[in-house]
Amino acid sequence: MRTALFTGSFDPPTNGHFDVIRQAFAVADRVVVGIGVHPGKVPLFSFEERVEMLRAGIDASDASQGVLECVAFEDLAVDCARRVGAGVIVRGLRDGTDFDYEMQMAGMNGAMAPEVATVFLPASPGVRHITATLVRQIAKLGGDISGFVPAHVAERLIARFARS
């Protein structure tokens, strides 16, 4: 079974994240979503909430393509890749800025773990503009986020900011 690792904060998971996860099933039978947990950062959603949103965002047709797992990690992505048995780290690319940054990361990861390849997956045109940071900002200001996240994620964001 070929395993791919897709890392990020997923705070919140966006339509762009789900686009990459769906594409990752083209290169792997098992996709492990590595959710970065950093002691110095306070995310909007807990690790458990992010896992719930990710699992709910993968529908039956996606799940039938392979196995989806979620794990927490607070070290290097290559160390997480080794732990979960991933031979591939998948990275989504939205634009040239992402490409430049991700090429540097791929080079560093390749130097540290030559047995783990990096595969770039281009974002689908309809989701290229989406970032979790902008989604959080729009939601906090009461804007319409329905085009950027699945409905179940939008509901959680609206509820989270209604409390604050």
Q: Give per-residue pLDDT as tens, 108-140.
A: 999 999 999 999 999 999 999 999 999 999 999
pLDDT digits (tens, 9 = 90+) for 43-61: 999 999 999 999 998 875 5
DSSP state of 125: G
In this structure, is residue 47 part of a structural domain? yes
CATH code assigned at 60: 3.40.50.620
Q: Which of 133, 59, 127 is nearest to 92 (CA)?
A: 127
Contact 80, 62 (CB under 8 A): no
- Count of structural domains within the chain: 1
User: Considering the domain boundaries, does residue 21 fall inside one?
Assistant: yes
Flag whether pLDDT at 41 surpasses 90: no
Average pLDDT on 3-27 reads: 96
Contact between 37 and 77 (Cβ < 8 Å): no
Q: Which string of DSSP letters, residue by residue, matches 23-68?
A: HHTTT-SEEEEEEE--TT---SS-HHHHHHHHHHHS-HHHHTTSEE
Q: Does residue 87 fall inside a structural domain?
A: yes
pTM score, whole prediction = 0.93
Domain for residue 122, yes or no? yes
Residue 84: the pLDDT is: 98
* Cα 164 from Cα 156, distance rounded (Å): 13
Residue 158 lies in a domain: no
Asked if residue 157 is part of any domain, the answer here is no
Residue 136 lies in a domain: no
pLDDT at site 40 = 80
The whole domain housing 53 covers 3-127
122 vs 164: which has the higher pLDDT: 122
